[in-house]
Every structure is written in structure tokens, then in C-alpha cells.
Structure 1
Amino acid sequence: MAVFKKGINGAFSGTIGNTVGSSWRHITYMRSLPKPSRKPATPAQLAQRAKFALAVSFLQPMKWILNLGFNDKQRGNNTGYNRGLQLFITQAIIGDYPDYEIDFEKVAVSQGNMDKLVGLTLASETPNTLSLSWMDLSEEPVDPDEVKGSYFDDQVFVLLYNRTEQLFTTNRTAVRQDEALQLELPAIFAGHEFYVWAFARHREGGRQSISQYAGTVVLAGTEEPAEEPEP
């Protein structure tokens, strides 16, 4: 692949012969079309393709949060989504080909050097509600230019995954000093198991903590009154 800066007629997009012109993240480039291979894929290639397919199918719906969580601005031409994809393939896939599974505890949705949420807990005791709690140990710096590991008004991002429906839900209404977050979900999800991750992000963006796997929880539902025995 070659980076295309300036030509006689400028950059182009599309296919000319066996050459493809395109742009990505404000970089214009040209590459040749791949030659079709008649060789059968090796077991290692099949295994890698299966891992890649599993990673893309799981991560694609939360692409935007990966670009935030992996601090896309400081990654140059490597997007946050791509960083998350690489980590997912190397550390969050378990099992043997073709029976790969996801190790949800190893899934990372952010990386950074800010302080994690201390004492993060997860529960569902009120009908249709998930509850998260943590401790706020942040201290506002005396010098506004002093860099701290946490601030009282850091945004708290929460990611929920409903495995039954294969749905993702995100929330960022809480800040670090709140020390708790209540998430009300539709009643149709009562009894469903949710996988939950959380991380803190600086009030002005650009910095965040490494994500934490809060665990799994079954969404509580409304208990129906017991039937009275017939006289």
C-alpha cells in the first residue's frame, strides 16, 4: 500500500484496473487488489478467521464506546475500536477451534491511567433496576494545572450486555462523586442476565481509567402475589 499525496489529477477513489484508491482518517492511499489464492486455508488461518469473526460480531455494536474508552485521539491512525479488537482477540477468546467462547471477565472496553472505581459492586434488588455503587476517593487539586488520577466530576460510563437478546445498553449519567447509579430497564428484560462493565472518564475527555468487569446480574422482576388457597 502507498500513501497518495499529490498526483497530476489529485487523489481518486474507486478501482482502476487492479488498483484501488481510497481514503481513511484523512489519509489518501492506493493499493493493489489481492490476488485470489487457490490454496486451502491452513488450520491456523481458519482458527484466526474464526476468532476475528467472533470479535467483530461482538464488538461492532459498541464501536463508539471503544473509540472513547481507548482514547482514539492519542492512537494516531490506529482507532480505539481497532485497539479493542486486538485485545479482545488476544485475551478474551477461550476454547479450541471451532468452539470458541468469550471470556467476559477479560473483555476490555477502555484503557488508561486514571484511577479505577474503588469498591465497584453490582446488584438488582428493586424490580427492573440494576444498581452499581463505588467509593469516591478523589481530591480536587489546589493547583488547577496539577494532574490527578481522579476527579470528583469524572464521568462514569456503564456498559450492559444482554446475552439473551444480544443487546448493548450504555449509560453515562453519573459522576464519580455520586458513588451510585440506578439503571431502570424495560420490564420485558426481567429475569435476563446482564454482563456489566464500567470505567471513569475525565470531565474534559482525553483520559480515562481501565475498564472494570462488574460481573453478571439477573434483572429482578415484580413478584406476582401468591394465589390464596380455595376454602
Structure 2
Amino acid sequence: MARVNNGANGAPSGKVGAVVFCKWKDITYVRSLPKVRKKRKLSDSEEKNRGKFGFTQTFLAPFTKFFRLGFQHYAENMTAFNAAMSYHLEHAVLMGAQGPAINYEKFAISRGLDDLIVSTSTEIVDHKLEIKWEPKMTKELLNHELIDFRAMALLLPENSMDQSNGLLLGNSIEHRSQLIDLPKISESSIFHVYLGFAATDGSNRSMNSVYVGKITAEKE
């Protein structure tokens, strides 16, 4: 950029060739025109990565409330949703001939403390799903360390046309069971079931969620 002294006819203005004359605080200066960057064609690898990222972002967006509770401490200097994006891009999104797809067994609603649930089971009763679990820790340690942890549950449909259903901060971990309504469906549908736990003591702690398995829900 260069300053311009006024000539006999005053200061020049406007575009001249490859430069443009501008004025700022009564000072006339000249600068080059901005370069027009031609859009570079993306490589196959870049196209796939962009497609994978977009798929993951779209897939996860409806479950943001879960991630805000369940991914608070997964990665430093990241929002909970971005941390969930990072986890799923690395562990739960597969790239195949038909494009990106979710690995339901690796999908997670929370990450944190490791392997604190020994076993889980499910039962459908009166169009409600009962999820049962057994904690790994003894009752004494459970009461002292994890008493403030409450259940998070998500029913994720295999058919994207069906609605998901979930709950946040349900029963305490020591309750060992949680009821959740099954979504209304027009025909028999498969749902993948996830169970996680998050603290309510202000610590933002959470546990690794468990893939409980898949269930078949029938039309009411």
C-alpha cells in the first residue's frame, strides 16, 4: 500500500489497471486489487472426509442434549458436541462403497469413567422398555462415589424415518433399572438401546455409555 500526493486536479480515485485508489481519513492511498482465488478441485480423499464429517454432524445433531451431559470431559478445549464429533469420527463412523454409515455398537451417548456396569438386560412391558443393569462396584463404594449419577437412555431407530426416544437424568445408578416409553411406530421397527450415566453434583462427570443391544418394537 502507498500514499498518494494530490496533483493539479486533486487526488485520483477508483480502479486503474491492477490497482485501486482509496481514501481513509482524508489520506488517499493505493493498493492492489484482491486476487481471485480459483476453487481447487478436491481430491477423492478430501471429498470422502468432507462427506464423512457432514454425515456425522447431521447424524449427531438431534442428540446434542445427551452429548452436553455425556461428553463434558472427553476432550480438553472442545465443546461437548465437538468432543462427541471427534469421538464418533474416529470410532463410530464407517466408510463403505455406499458412503458413510454409523457403527451402532460404537455409537455413544457418554464417555468418561470406564466399565462400571457389569451387565444389562431389557424387557418390553405395556409398550415401555425396562432397562436393568448391575454396577461393578460394591454397595459401599457405590453410595460414596456414585450416588449422584443418574441414568441416560436412548432408543435409536435403525430406520431413519422412525423417531428416537430418550431420557436424561432418570433413576439413580443404585436403582438398577429404568423405564422408558417406546416411540410410536406404524410398523415393526428395530431400535438400538444405549445406557449412560451422568453426575448431578456439579462435577460434570459421566461414565462410558453401554450399548445394551437392539430390540424389535411392534406397532401398538
Within a 5 Å distance, the mapping from 1:70-109 to structure 2 comes to 70-71=71-72, 75-96=75-96, 98-109=98-109
Partner of 2:164: 168
Partner of 1:112: 112
Q: Answer yes or no: is 1:132 the counterpart of 2:131.
A: yes
The AA in structure 2 aligned to 1:87 is Y
Deviation at 1:132, TM superposition (A): 0.7
Alignment-derived partner of residue 214 in structure 2: 216
Match of 1:193? 190
C-alpha displacement at 1:142, in angstroms? Answer: 11
* C-alpha distance in 1 between matches for 2:47 and 2:189: 33
Q: Which amino acid aligns with 2:79?
A: T
CA shift, 1:127, in A, is 3.7
Aligned partner of 1:229 in structure 2 is none
Residue identity in the other structure for 1:209: M
Q: How does 1:24-63 map to 2 (within 5 A)?
A: 36-63=37-64
Query: Separation in 2 of the partners of 1:64 and 1:78?
Result: 16
The offset of 1:130, in angstroms, is 1.3
2:150 matched residue in structure 1: 155
CA shift at 1:114, angstroms?
5.7
- In structure 1, runs of 5+ residues without a counterpart are 1-34, 223-231
Matches of 1:129 and 1:117, distance apart in 2:
22
Q: Output the amino acid matched with 1:167.
A: Q
Structure 1 or 2: larger strand share? Answer: 2
Moved over 6 A (4+): none
Query: Offset at 1:59?
Result: 0.4
Give per-residue Cα distances to partners, 1:31-64, cap 9 Å, x unaligned: xxxx754221100100001100110111011112
> Is the CA contact (8 Å cut-off) linking 2:110 and 2:197 kept in structure 1?
no
| Larger Rg computed on CA atoms | 2
Q: Which runs of 5+ in 2 are unaligned?
A: 1-35
Tell me the secondary structure at the aligned position of residue 44 of structure 1.
helix
Confirm or deny: 8 A CA contact 2:71 2:112 kept in the other structure: yes
With normalisation by structure 2, the TM-score equals 0.71
- Residue 79 (structure 1) shift: 0.8
User: What's the TM-score, normalizing by structure 1?
Assistant: 0.68
User: Is the 1:117–1:199 contact (alpha carbons within 8 Å) kept by the matching residues of 2?
Assistant: no
Give the % identical residues. 20
The two structures, once aligned, show a CA RMSD in angstroms of 2.7
Q: Note the C-alpha offset of 1:75.
A: 4.9
Once the two structures are TM-superposed, the CA of residue 217 in structure 1 deviates from its matched residue by 0.5
What CA distance in whole angstroms lies between the structure 1 residues aligned with 2:186 and 2:138? Answer: 35
| Post-superposition offset of 1:98 | 4.8
- CA contact under 8 A between 1:196 and 1:215: conserved in structure 2? yes
What code does the residue aligned with 2:150 have? Q
Opposite residue 193 of structure 2, the aligned amino acid is: V
Per the alignment, residue 174 of structure 2 pairs with 177
**How many residues get paired?**
181
Q: How far has the Cα of 1:123 moved from its partner?
A: 3.3
CA distance in 2, matches of 1:143, 1:132: 21
